[in-house]
């Protein structure tokens, strides 16, 4: 996973496509605004792999996650509820 700081998004290249999560850093949190997977990658687990990497980054940096995106919220409830802000 790559942190594209200029665009405020985490990116995971998958083949020729990119799965990404737009974020905003604020007060010890990562606010996840939107998670996007191209139509060809939906249902393949690519967005879940991205969220796993985002969760690992948040843990490493001592951050909590404020999921404003429905997908991010449901993924965190299932896999990373300790990170929910």
The pTM score is 0.93
Report which of 49, 47, 45 is spatially closest to residue 70, judged by C-alpha positions.
47
Is residue 83 pLDDT above 80, yes or no?
yes
Q: What is the pLDDT of residues 34-80, one digit of tens each?
A: 999 999 999 999 999 999 999 999 999 999 999 999 999 999 999 97
Query: What region does 36 belong to: left with phi over 0, alpha with psi -120 to 50, or beta?
Result: beta
3-class secondary structure, 51: helix
Residue partners of 72: CB distance under 8 A and separation at least 6 = 21, 32, 35, 51, 54, 65
Tokens (6 digits) for 47: 């967005």
């Amino acid at each position: 996973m790559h942190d594209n700081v200029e665009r405020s998004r985490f990116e995971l290249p998958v083949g020729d496509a990119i799965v990404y999560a737009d974020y905003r850093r604020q007060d010890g949190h990562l606010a996840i605004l939107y998670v996007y997977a191209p139509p060809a990658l939906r249902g393949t687990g690519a967005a879940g792999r991205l969220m796993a990497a985002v969760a690992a980054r948040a843990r490493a940096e001592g951050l909590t996650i404020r999921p404003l995106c429905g997908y991010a919220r449901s993924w965190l409830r299932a896999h990373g509820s300790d990170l929910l802000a």
